Amino acid sequence: MSNYLAIATVTATMQRLLQASLQSDVPGVRVTTTRPDASGSGTPDIGVNLYLYQASPNPAWRNNDLHTRRPKGDLIKHSQAGLNLFYLMTFYGNEIELEPQRLLGSAVRTLIDQPILTQDMIEETVQHPAFSYLADSTLASQVERVTLVPSSMTTEELSKIWSVFFQTPYTLSFGYQGSTVLIEGDKPARRLLPLRGCQFYITPNQPVVDQVIPDGGSHQPITLGSSLTIRGKQLRMDQIQIRVGDARVTPQEVGETQIRLNLSGLSGAEVAGLRAGVQSLQVLHPVAKRTAFDIDRAIGSNVMAIVLCPTIREIVLVHRHLTEDDEYNGEIQVQSDLLIGKEQRVFLLLNQLTSQNPAAYIFKAKTREMDTHMVEFPIQDVQEGVYLVRIQVDRSESPLTVDTTPNSPTFEQYIGPTIEIS
């Protein structure tokens, strides 16, 4: 997702692309971004004016962000908006030498040659000294790239734009559309503690693997300490392997209708390939007996979805400082036992460990350059106290520790992992 500078970053990137290309075709050309009004101030004598005259919701993303709030209005996840941007390019120059028409052809050629604003294009624009005001733009990290396509505009539509918006004599114009810009809200959200009694059921698509159940029942989270029972038909074969996401692991017990996979008994190399989040699980049989398992010649079962939950190994609070409102800003570093991909969405969930109006916060992880076990979360405006800590990787959440000691004051309550912010 992008921040509030995304729209201006798209305009600046298009301006820079056009300026670099057009000046080699028509000497002395300038690309501006002013309003083409009657006074003509800011518009070039020879050049192109790129004007953003409208922004509208993108139909494909309009309903993608429903249910961001509870019925009472509490924010439960970060909100977002998908926008389409509509630009009007006007062309100026010597009409006798057909400079406006030459500029139109050069501009269209430039944008059809480069119809997608790549990460490198955006980063070059943001780092350019002329656009220092866009230094904090996060458009380059947006998952969906902004594409540029010509707008089909009739003479009537152009007439309305010029007469309503500019009220000035018509100049040779051409429309372009940029989509989609995804802008994410930054208002802190809240999330309640998980319900321990929830149960999830997965319906298989094929009759080979019927169930994947962790010890303790299907409602228990699957972690690196879990043992899985895979039930189905025709499962027995030599050299069987289980594919979990992109990793391949070897089960400890294999029967005709049941397989036992103890994740805690896997080798270090097998564990290193496992990632947190929603993963596919598939039983693999070799086509023929071989000295080594050939994944390209394996016969796979139907695919089942499982959720690998990370377990928090370490929590560290760094760069802590107190604000004027007696709240804390800083950064929390969390180490997970499972690898977290650089493109996965990771959030930190904090719930204050108190029965008196507990505070709750959700914070987004910093951008990562590579897959890692350590994730950093900037925190802002957090009240003093002790907090239960969870991380959410895509759809998976790290489990909380429950006090199972009878006669304990916190018996059957969540007690960890925690961090003290003070």
Determine the Cα–Cα distance for residues 220 and 212; give it in Å rounded to an integer: 12
Instruction: Report pLDDT digits (tens) over 4-30.
Output: 899 999 999 999 999 999 988 888 899
Instruction: Report pLDDT digits (tens) over 221-237.
Output: 999 999 999 999 888 88
Instruction: Report pLDDT digits (tens) over 369-378.
Output: 999 999 999 9
Q: Domains along the chain?
A: 6-184 (3.30.2000.10), 209-308 (2.60.40), 312-421 (2.60.40)
Q: Is the pLDDT of residue 253 over 70?
A: yes
Predicted pLDDT of residue 236? 84
202 falls in which pLDDT band (50, 70, 90)? very low
Average pLDDT over residues 183-210: 62
Q: Which residue has the higher pLDDT, 41 or 270?
A: 270
155 falls in which pLDDT band (50, 70, 90)? confident
Instruction: Report pLDDT digits (tens) over 294-342.
Output: 555 678 888 889 999 999 999 999 999 999 989 999 999 999 999 999 9
Structure token pair of residue 16: 């820079």
Instruction: Report pLDDT digits (tens) over 35-79.
Output: 887 445 567 788 899 999 889 988 887 766 555 555 555 555 566
Determine the Cα–Cα distance for residues 267 and 278; give it in Å rounded to an integer: 21
Determine the Cα–Cα distance for residues 89 and 175; give it in Å rounded to an integer: 6
Is pTM, for the whole model, over 0.75? no
Determine the Cα–Cα distance for residues 164 and 250; give it in Å rounded to an integer: 69
